[in-house]
Amino acid sequence: MRKGSLTLLVSGLALASLLLWQQVQAVRVGYEAGQMRRQMRRQAVLNEGLRVELARLNAPQRLAQDAESRLGMSRPDPESQIHLGRPALRADGHKILSFLWR
C-alpha cells in the first residue's frame, strides 16, 4: 500500500509541477505579447512621423528653395528653354497649332 501511495503522490506532484510550469509560460507569453503590441504602436507613431517628414522634404517648394539657396541654381529664362518632343512656339504671331500645316 505504501508503494501505491508513493506513486500516487509523485504523480500528483509531477502533474502539479506541469500545470504550474504551463501557467508560468502562459503568463510570460502574455507579457511578451503586450510588450510587442506596445512596441508596434510606438513604431507606427514613428513611421507616421517619418512619412510626414519625407513629404515635407520632398515638397516642390522646399526643393526649389534648396536648389536656389544651397546649390546656387536659378530658374531658367523662359526664352532660353527648349522643349523636347513638342514644337517651339514662335513669337512672330503664329497660332499654337501652326505646326499642323508644316
pLDDT at 69: 93
d(CA 31, CA 29): 5
Q: Residue ranges of the chain with pLDDT lower than 50?
A: 102
User: pTM of the full predicted structure?
Assistant: 0.51
Q: Name the residue ranges covered by the structural domains of the chain.
A: 33-70
pLDDT value at residue 51:
97
Query: Residue 2's pLDDT is what?
Result: 86
The predicted pLDDT at position 90 comes to 56
In this prediction, residue 36 carries a pLDDT of 98
What pLDDT score was predicted for residue 97?
55
| Cell digits of residue 70 | 544651397
N- to C-terminal Cα separation, the chain: 117
The pLDDT, as a whole number, for residue 94 is: 52
What's the pLDDT score for residue 91? 54
DSSP helix/strand/coil, 94? coil
